[in-house]
Amino acid sequence: GTLTWRGNKYSLDNGKMLLRGCILRNTEWCFGMVIFAGLQTKLMQNCGKTKFKRTTIDKLMNTLVLWIFAFLICMGVILATGNTIWETWIGRGFEMFLPWTKFQIGTVFSGFLTFWSYIIILNTVVPISLYVSVEVLRLGHSFFINWDVKMYDCQTNTAAVARTTTLNEELGQVEFIFSDKTGTLTQNIMVFSKCSINGTIYGDVYDEFGHRKEITEKTACVDFSYNLLSDGAFKFYDNTLVEAVKQKDSAVQEFLRLLALCHTVMSEESEGKLVYQAQSPDEAALVTAARNFGFAFWSRTPESITVCEMGQVVTYQLLAILDFNNTRKRMSVIVRDAQGRIKLYCKGADTIIFDLLDPSSKDLMHTTSEQLNEFAGEGLRTLALAYKDLDEEYYDVWMKKFLFVSTVLENREDQLAALHEEIERGMKLLGATAIEDKLQEGVPETISKLNLADIKIWVLTGDKQETAVNIGYSCNMLRDDMTDVFVVSGHTLTEVQQQLRKAKERILSLSRVSDARNDEDNDIFADDSVFEEAIITEYALVINGHSLAHALEPQLEIVFLDLACLCKTVICCRVTPMQKAQVVELVRKHKRAVTLAVGDGANDVSMIKTSHIGVGISGQEGMQAVLASDYSFAQFRYLQRLLLVHGRWSYFRMSNFLSYFFYKNFAFTLVHFWYGFYCGFSAQTVYDQWFITLFNIVYTSLPVLAMGLFDQDVNDQNSLRHPSLYKSGQNNLLFNKRQFFLCTVHGMTTSFLLFFIPYGAFSVMVKEDGSHSSDQQTFAVTIATSLVIVVSVQIGLSMHYWTAVNHLFVWGSLAMYFVILFAMQSDGLFGVLPNIFSFVGAARNCLSEKSVWLVILLTTAVCIVPDLFVRSIRASLFPTQTDRVRQLQQSCKRQRPEEQNLRRACRTSSRRSAYAFSHQEGFGELITSGKNMRTSRVSSTCSYERTAPSSKWIENVIKRTNAVSCISFGSPNKSIKRK
């Protein structure tokens, strides 16, 4: 609302504060603190709550660790029960060596102690180090994103930044993308493209046969060098508008004069050039266009506007500004020219302007309306322009009413709106403008690839419906070949409910008809009928902010969500920041799908925080979205590489890492479980204590980290060329509870073979000298060596992409095992620490026997060959799409075909685009009050600092402009010509 304190107005609106003429001092300081506290509260409400984001794999890991801990308890109970039974039946025979009467230990208490002993021995099955390893992998994946030169924007010198290290694998499981439009899909850089003046279109280029030519980079631009005030960055390709200006066409001049006067732009001098500061890019584009065609806005004061018209400096008295707001959707200024004539100039949405026109403009209105349809079909943002001559007496009466209504307290806004509409009625139409908000580079191609990856993209924008729809067509999100586009625009809950249900019933009815047709023609369509029907039957949903507010009510949210999920494309227009967050939360709550929100402005912060993954675009609207995001980059097109390459790789690597990590832990630990049945459940360990300590730290840590960091099933080119590979992450196929169960069974089987094959061999095996190899340390070294070799070979089979680092870590770790094994059982360490390294020479004696190596090879072969056989059969008989792409990649390794870029489909549409206006209330009141301009202490008339060019600079430019204007514009003023 608006608060007033001692004549000063304080406005808090949508988290933005304007202090109009406020100087905080004395008692006003306290009130100022209240205002800033209110601003902070509004900003916090706009941003939404900050949530701790966790990935799906994190939640699954926590569940699996609990399962493993429960499994550990079960193993402890089984072995403790076995100890109790063994001590009861067999242990009594050993009382001569371990008399119970001395220690007062019963069988039950012995089982109790054994339980905790085995909990300690088997605790390695609980992957405590897993969380540390996962964080290391995530950190590495984040660095890969930061270092990716293909996601670096040279124009803005901006690289991709992973602002978090906990969501990388989540990037490979995204199902819904919620995107802002302006600044995210578009560049938010408005370009004056075309205009219609008195029924004539300017901006198209024709060849010698009268056919319209496509404007490309090679098309010659209009030469504005004759105009010293022109903006060098402005480009226009139709010379006929320049000729019309030079011929002093009255309609063209009035059109450009309106663009130079009807705005809230401020001007200033910067490095000898005229620079505009505009409230919105639309206004800047329109004022810049008028400037290049000879009607340059020069400066303004609270009472005047100065314009350089065709070389002549003309000052207009500013009588009133009828400012823009979301209800009026138009802006007007009332000025008095040098001849004393009062004129009203207005620009705004065509649907509003056409209702206020004089009947004499009826024919021109129909012509302009058709031209606006043509502009809309090209995705341009349009404005209608009109003017009106005001009688002096009528204006005086109206101004008295206006001043009176401005001071009333009740219904002031409604009365002001009625007065505005009263004076704006009966205007004459001048024409229309068409501004292009250019798409960012690669947006259509990116959206096409994301759609092929089965990622649903919803556009949530605060813009008008027509603008969003046209951008949807430009981005290939909407297509003319879609079965139907449902528009929900009800104003009441009942209307919205009826429209949603009607649209849903239509989709379901068409689906039933198509299913029946497929059943009848089953023999004709065979395998691809359903697939083709799914491609052909595509729908889109467009819903505005008023209807969305009702659709998000508890009684309608499920209906809305079901309908939206049945549609290929969803566009929500005129939505507030809070509604964006509510839509994201609705999908998160009911679909249980991974969501990603991408935006570039402060109004996208709540959406970014609500989604699983937030992506910020560093564009034209500050850094609020970037600071609140999890990942950031400069262009929307980098999103495909973030998801289809880095996201898919991160999920693939993390899944393989977890599967192998659980496998090796079970294979390593459960050997103790099998050994417990043959050692009287005495909690005796199979391995040497140093091996238990170093297994996860030295022998197997680096290879699995290398696999988790560098492994890739297909390269980045094929990941982008085949977006459907991404579906495995969406369906959570690579690591889930089923995969965990399989790798657990695999690990248990490996541990079973690792123990029982050497155990059976050692029971009948003899050394070369005829003695038995029955000592426990030889048995331990054999099993440990077999385990290290098996897990090393197993990780080699699981790895798809070998690098020098992988080779170094895998084979280096295997070599490190033998080095440490011989070092710890060497004579040197025994001599230094005999109590710690007591098994001197055990490894040397054990591994010098050929029979031991035969046992190791047999154990390795039995453990590896079945898995290798299953992998081969699966790849040959039941290949996945990844297997096919890998085969294609290997066959085309030397001759890689060039990637074909997806072409942007051309279309024609009759949909009206939006008005090229900022959707916030304008700065008209601030300008007319003069409180945003710093007046000079010497003079209080037209001299002000920093808001307008200096007087000396103005004089120099006027002289140069006048000298050229007599040639360019044909000025008859001889004195100017002599100058």
Residues 347, 290: contact at Cβ < 8 Å? no
Please give the helix or strand (H or E) that residue 137 lies within, else none.
helix 128-147
Tell me how far apart the alpha carbons of residues 633 and 162 are, in angstroms, rounded to a whole number: 9
Cβ atoms within 10 Å, residue 339: 5
The two tokens of residue 971 are: 């000025």
Does 378 count as an annotated binding residue?
Answer: no
- For residue 221, the SS3 value is coil
Reference 241, options 180, 193, 313; nearest CA is 193
Does 324 count as an annotated binding residue?
Answer: yes
Q: Please list, in sequence order, all residues whose beta carbon lies within 8 angstroms of the beta carbon of residue 865, skipping any fewer than 6 positions away.
A: none
Q: Which residues of 250-401 form beta strands (DSSP E)?
A: 266-270, 273-277, 295-300, 304-309, 312-322, 330-336, 342-348, 381-390
Cβ atoms within 10 Å, residue 278: 19
Reference 598, options 570, 625, 560; nearest CA is 625
Tell me how far apart the alpha carbons of residues 540 and 175 are, in angstroms, rounded to a whole number: 17
Reference 688, options 704, 671, 702, 710; nearest CA is 671
Does 871 count as an annotated binding residue?
Answer: no
Distances (CA, A) of 812 to 195, 787, 847: 71, 16, 19
* Active-site residue, 231 included: no
Does 181 count as an annotated binding residue?
Answer: yes
Reference 21, options 907, 925, 974; nearest CA is 925
Please give the helix or strand (H or E) that residue 523 lies within, else none.
helix 522-525
Residues 3, 10: contact at Cβ < 8 Å? yes
Does 461 count as an annotated binding residue?
Answer: yes
Unique residue bearing structure tokens 């040397």: 844
Does 803 count as an annotated binding residue?
Answer: no
Does 358 count as an annotated binding residue?
Answer: no
DSSP 697: I
Residues 721, 156: contact at Cβ < 8 Å? no
Does 673 count as an annotated binding residue?
Answer: no
Q: Which of 13, 148, 153, 180 is catalytic?
A: 180
Does 401 count as an annotated binding residue?
Answer: no
Does 56 count as an annotated binding residue?
Answer: no
Does 515 count as an annotated binding residue?
Answer: no
Tell me how far apart the alpha carbons of residues 499 and 495 are, in angstroms, rounded to a whole number: 6
Please give the full DSSP string across 181-198, using - where no structure is assigned. STTTTEEEEEEEEEEEET
Does 721 count as an annotated binding residue?
Answer: no
Tell me how far apart the alpha carbons of residues 472 and 478 are, in angstroms, rounded to a whole number: 5
Reference 385, options 341, 422, 438, 435; nearest CA is 435
Residues 158, 627: contact at Cβ < 8 Å? no
Does 391 count as an annotated binding residue?
Answer: no
Does 180 count as an annotated binding residue?
Answer: yes
Does 283 count as an annotated binding residue?
Answer: yes
Tell me how far apart the alpha carbons of residues 122 and 119 are, in angstroms, rounded to a whole number: 5
Tell me how far apart the alpha carbons of residues 417 and 422 are, in angstroms, rounded to a whole number: 9
The two tokens of residue 944 are: 């002000």
Tell me how far apart the alpha carbons of residues 462 and 788 are, in angstroms, rounded to a whole number: 60
Binding residues for ATP: 180-182, 283, 324, 347, 381, 461-463, 574, 580, 603-604
Q: Which residues are catalytic?
A: 180
Residues of each annotated binding site for Mg(2+): 180, 182, 600, 604
Please report, in range form, the residues annotated as the binding site: 180-182, 283, 324, 347, 381, 461-463, 574, 580, 600, 603-604
